Amino acid sequence: MNYLTSLLLAGTALVPSAAYAEDAVPADAALESTGTVIVVTGTADGYRPVDANAVKTPTPLLDVPQTITVLTREQLDDQGITQLGDALRYVPGVVLGQGEGHRDQITLRGQNTTADFYLDGLRDDTQYYRSLYNIERVEVLKGANALLFGRGGGGGVINRVSKTPDLDRVKGQASANVDSFGGFALAADWNQPLTEMVGARLNATYEEFDNHRQNFEGRFIGVNPTMAFQPGEATRIELSYNYDDDRRTTDRGVPSLGGKPLTGYDETFFGRSDLNVATVKAHIAQARLDHDLTDNLSFNLLGQYSHTDKLYGNVFAGGAVNTTANTVALSGYESGTLRDSWIGQANLVWTGQTGGIGHTLLAGFEVADQDTHATRRNTANATVTLAKRISVPALSYGALVTNSRTDVRTLSAYVQDQVELASFLQIVAGVRYDEFRITGRNAINGVGASRTDRKWSPRFGVVLKPQTNVSFYGSFTRTFLPQSGDQFGALDATQATLAPEQFENLEAGVKWDVNPGLAFTAAAYQLNRENSRFNNPVTGLPELSGKTRAKGIELSLAGRILPQWQASLGYTLQDGEVRSATTAAPAGRKLSQLPRHQASAWTRYDVTKEIGLGLGITHQSKSFTTISNAVTLPAFTRLDAAVFYDLSERFSIQLNVENLTDTDYFPAAHTDNNISTGEPLNARISIRAKF
């Protein structure tokens, strides 16, 4: 593979002649010594990540044979970001989808998903928007890897790591911000030790949304109390409850014209305020037990229950602009989802040596049960005259056309060993077994179906370390996705006969800790997908489309370049196409929403102890909205800026300006005729107080 060869040659040239001292580690990290192995534990030094919660073992990022991007809390605060989707704009290789205006949806390494989201390593796959008010950092793990996560995650997964109680000291923070559209957010974070062994933390937020689009509005309420118990040095118990209440206008953007997004109508709302409403109430309760049996043997038990009640309606452009009649055809539907999910997981981790060979052994199992009740009602179609503010006739949702119940049960077991054959050579090998059973019933016609898949998912990687701060790696991973969509809201007789999709990821890369606070990574990948599914360009519903391949090169640099200068930089060169001839997607078609070039940069420079400046840039080259390749999203570059002023050690104020050059752009799409328009020049001022 040419990508792999080029990367390895480039990585070799980057290796410095001498490593930095082994005792030079981030100031907030701790060292644990086990023989000759040094393990770095901690979270981050500014923008530079140290480890990743989702890898399940105490492994520094330098030794993980996989591309991982971590967005730290400090970087999120500097960018003034409160929502997950906004944070992911600064991760090359992640392309934001429109999500029909009511959910997080991304394309990662050419694979579109609404379900590959995790909270503290446990699946959080319901379709909704995720807030970051109670999140310590965001981890983006790229490439298929069922061993750690099970089904799905063909292009990777997104894991949010929650804030947890600190038993050592009282601390708190309150913040408020308002933007030039009139939207605002209030947030509070309070940590309180109750005894030497018990601590509590409460995060809460209230946010109101507004933007440049006509009729758009919304609000979000989030409350997250957590408790931590530490009866001894070897044991910690955490209990958490998360409540999200989101209500907003469902906005699916503008239609196309002549193979491009309709221009001149960036504010025009192609819907009705009374029908385009999305509401969701999500309850997530988690429990976690960590216990050290010995100095080198530990286990954890995790449990999660979630209940989601979601309803959204939308009227949207169902076709391109009719230039002859100057009209647009509208369609619409209402969808409801009621979901209850249980997940239980256990992990045993052993670090030690056998015959002079080092090991980090992970063994675990997971059980899950997910019940979903999904409904859908359609509206009649309508045709309206194109105008800056369109007039939509009265519409209503009809009788149920979908009324399905599904039950998904999974049983999984996995084992992985990180073997240190020598100080310069590590091997990572493991396998996961999944039994996936789905049963579905359509209450309208009384027809039911079921299917059980039993899959083995291997992982293999090699890590070469010519120096303690440099690693070269190669890896192979595999994952699968059963054929009923990533939400498993319905299962029909045809889907029940189809084998799961399969994803295989080949990756090679280099990681270099330039200094204790700065990390460089580069990787080349090839991701093959078989029996793949794409959304129909018109209906937005999934269809089988054969084999695809995505490949690319990813580069990143994150951390502290100078004591007063931090940066997070990234670039991705990527390509993807259909490799089998089908009616829905002939061979040679390019994968949708996969720009060839994608780059981002965010940097902060502290001019003085009190004053700092921030500058950000994101760039995407052109891409296709869907697999039809009929409509193109134009290339765009967006410039952001910020000014930070510390009034004192406790109080600070910052100004974030987005789209500084007032660029007109189209960042995302759902179908060929549901295309989001980018926000114009806008500003947000934030005040933060620490206690």
d(CA 253, CA 674): 5
H or E stretch covering 76 = helix 73-78
Token couple for 646: 């510390």
- Cβ atoms < 10 Å from Cβ of 151: 26
For the cut 90, the answer to whether the pLDDT of residue 686 exceeds it is yes
How deeply is 294 buried, as exposed, middle or buried, from its count of CB atoms within 10 A (0-12, 13-18, 19+)?
Answer: exposed
What is the model's pLDDT at position 565? 96
* Owning domain of residue 251: 2-690
How deeply is 541 buried, as exposed, middle or buried, from its count of CB atoms within 10 A (0-12, 13-18, 19+)?
Answer: exposed
DSSP 254: B
B/e letters for 38-51, b = 16+ CB within 10 Å, e = fewer, are ebbebbbbbbbbbb
What is the model's pLDDT at position 28? 37
What digits encode the pLDDT tens for the residues 122-164?
999 999 999 999 999 999 999 988 999 999 999 999 999 999 9
What digits encode the pLDDT tens for the residues 392-426?
999 999 999 999 999 999 999 999 999 999 999 99
d(CA 150, CA 490): 20
What is the model's pLDDT at position 533? 65
What digits encode the pLDDT tens for the residues 556-608?
999 999 999 999 999 999 999 999 876 667 888 999 999 999 999 999 999 99
What percentage of the chain carries pLDDT values higher than 70?
A: 91
- Cβ atoms < 10 Å from Cβ of 535: 21
Nearest Cα residue to 218 out of 112, 323, 83, 328: 83
pTM across the whole model:
0.91
What is 20-72 written as a DSSP string? PPTT---TT-EEEEETTEEEEESSEETTEE---GGG-S---GGG-SS-EEEEE
What is 299-334 written as a DSSP string? EEEEEEEEEEEEEEEEEEE-S--BTTTTEEEEEEEE
d(CA 528, CA 287): 37
Residues near 259 by beta carbon (within 8 Å), at least 6 away in sequence? 630, 631, 632
For the cut 60, the answer to whether the pLDDT of residue 22 exceeds it is no
Q: How confident is the model at residue 538 (pLDDT cuts 50, 70, 90)?
A: low
What is the model's pLDDT at position 541? 62
For the cut 90, the answer to whether the pLDDT of residue 12 exceeds it is no
Per DSSP, what are the bridge partners of residue 556? 521, 570
Provide the domain count of the chain: 1
Q: Share the mean pLDDT of the chain.
A: 90
| Residue reference for tokens 């105008």 | 387
Nearest Cα residue to 25 out of 8, 42, 5: 42
Contact 84, 104 (CB under 8 A): yes
Any idea what the CATH number is for the domain that residue 135 is in?
A: 2.40.170.20
Sign of CA dihedral 256, 257, 258, 260: negative
Phi-psi region of 488 (alpha: psi -120 to 50; beta: other; left: phi over 0): left
